[in-house]
Structure 1
Amino acid sequence: MTLAFVVALLAGLSTVVGGWLGTQRQLLRRDALAASLAFAAGLMITISVVEIAPVAVRSLAEVVGQRGALVWVGGALLLGALVVLGIDRAIPHDVNLADLEGEDAAAVDGRLLRSGILLAGVVTLHNLPEGLATFVATLQQPTGGIALAVAIAIHNVPEGLAVAAPIYAATGSRARALVWATLSGLAEPFGAIVGFLLLQTLLPEEWVVLSLALVAGMMLAVSFLELLPAARRYETHYSQSLVGFFLGAVVMALSLVLLAAPTS
């Protein structure tokens, strides 16, 4: 069990690597920032549409049938999007962050900060079931669990970058950006322990699947309502957002191929 926890922890902490990349000043150029935000959107949309939603439908179809599965997963996606909308409305849009943090207000972009915090919350939720998957796989077969953790770590790096870049751009604080990236990664070992304890109490599997669909809806909402508009706002040429989005989709697709490898 110790090995399984350590593997889940290391996979989660790969977001720190991405967080460090997201605090490099060259990424604060308008073109690089636009590309990185679009990259994050491509990442999130791809895993939601290509992986999470289809897997949820297939799993639930065995319990409630194909039509019922589509209804349940669609409802979970919608609820996830509504949760993001609620969180978005709860975060003040015109807060003078300098009054709260003692910083120069001119150096803080409130919209970018909101995007980064929203994304950090969604990535945290997304990492919870990943941690559980890594933990359980390592308990059952250490070699397969480690391979799964490596694949998860690969796509956790760009997730950490996606969290840290807008927060660093908004505040200029590397420490704050790295803290948010680290916290989002620590959700994996937390999810491993909590999820395993829930499984011990025979939690129905369909609820776990629906929680993934809920997170997918949240990722889609953040991508379309926050990340893509922000990328368009900072781009100096439309190709920057297009290339960033395409690369994000490709990186996630490749990481999903690696994720499937241990079970093949």
Structure 2
Amino acid sequence: MSTPLILTTLAGASTFIGAILGILTKKPSARLLGFSLGFAAGIMLLISLMEMLPAALNTPSFSPILCYLMFIIGLVGYFTIDRLLPHCHPQDLPCEDGDFECMKRIQSSTDKNKLKRTAILLTLGISLHNFPEGIATFVTASTNIELGFGIAIAVAIHNIPEGLAVAAPIYIATGSKWQALFWASVSGFSEIIGGALTYFILGDFVSPALMASIMAAVAGIMVALSVDELIPLAKEVDPKRNPSIGILSGMTVMGFSLILLQYF
């Protein structure tokens, strides 16, 4: 159980990378960000549909109907949370890269308190978004450490722009790097809490049927995250390029890595 917790912690901690970019007012290039988001989506889709869902379906004494029902619950649960909670992306930030005049105008205006409140609400929203990702990383790594490593990489890539989206508006509104890092750490820490709670609740008393149910639901969450969040966002941040390049690259790299792991 310790290795899945470590992977979950590392995936959540990647939020700090985005937070550091946020306080330095340096956003990743649109091309790199778009490709990375597509790459993460490709990893999640391949693992969810080619590994986790088939493994759940092939679990002895586990009904395929229940498996698909749990998958749908994961899908619907994600979309429900996504629609109810505030969300934001790096390209929505009020200032462009290195635009210190923009930052000064916001810091001296009456809008800075409103911006800070919005950023804190955004932090809470992203925290609840990240919570099931922590569960997904932990459950996958508990079932198959190689798959868990792949999911941790995909989640870490996804967390970098989220850390940026949290830290930058806080820093612009307050001028405090420490506050920006603190609120970004809150959003990343929720992922670690998700994995830790799964560990303490499930512990060593996990039946194959229970694990299959969780895997099916988590597969639904990750498919919804990829289709509803990562792929559209990849296209939005880099409209000149097709996000399928990153998606297919992620699937290819993950597929080859799974094949290679069979021989080592």
Contact 1:128/1:190 (<8 A) preserved: no
Structure 1 195/260 Cα, relative in aligned 2: closer, same or farther at 3 Å? Answer: farther
Tell me which of 220, 224, 231 is aligned to 1:221. 224
Q: CA deviation at 1:254?
A: 4.8
* 2:192 pairs with 1:196: no
Look up the SS of the partner of 1:198 in the other structure. coil
Q: CA deviation at 1:131?
A: 5.6
CA displacement, residues 200-230 of structure 1 (integer Å, 9 cap, x when unaligned): xxxx421221111011111111211122111
**Residues 20-29 or 216-225, more deviating:** 20-29
Taking only aligned residues, the RMSD between alpha carbons, in angstroms, comes to 3.9
CA displacement, residues 3-50 of structure 1 (integer Å, 9 cap, x when unaligned): x53x44333322156334444646533222222222222122111111
TM-score (normalizing by structure 1): 0.68
**Structure 2 partner of 1:9:** 5
Distance 2:262 2:190 in 1: 26
**Structure 2 partner of 1:249:** 251
Distance 2:220 2:112 in 1: 32
* 2:104 pairs with 1:102: no
TM-score (normalizing by structure 2): 0.68
Distance 1:170 1:261 in 2: 42
Structure 1 235/225 Cα, relative in aligned 2: closer, same or farther at 3 Å? Answer: same
Gaps of 5+ in 1: 135-147
Q: CA deviation at 1:104?
A: 3.6
Matched to 2:58, the amino acid is R
* 2:93 pairs with 1:86: no
Q: Percent identity among equivalent residues?
A: 20
Count of aligned residue pairs for this structure pair: 228
Distance 1:44 1:120 in 2: 15
Q: Which has the higher helix share?
A: 1
**Structure 2 partner of 1:161:** 157
Gaps of 5+ in 2: 94-105, 169-179
Distance 1:193 1:259 in 2: 29
Distance 1:167 1:113 in 2: 12
Distance 2:12 2:76 in 1: 29
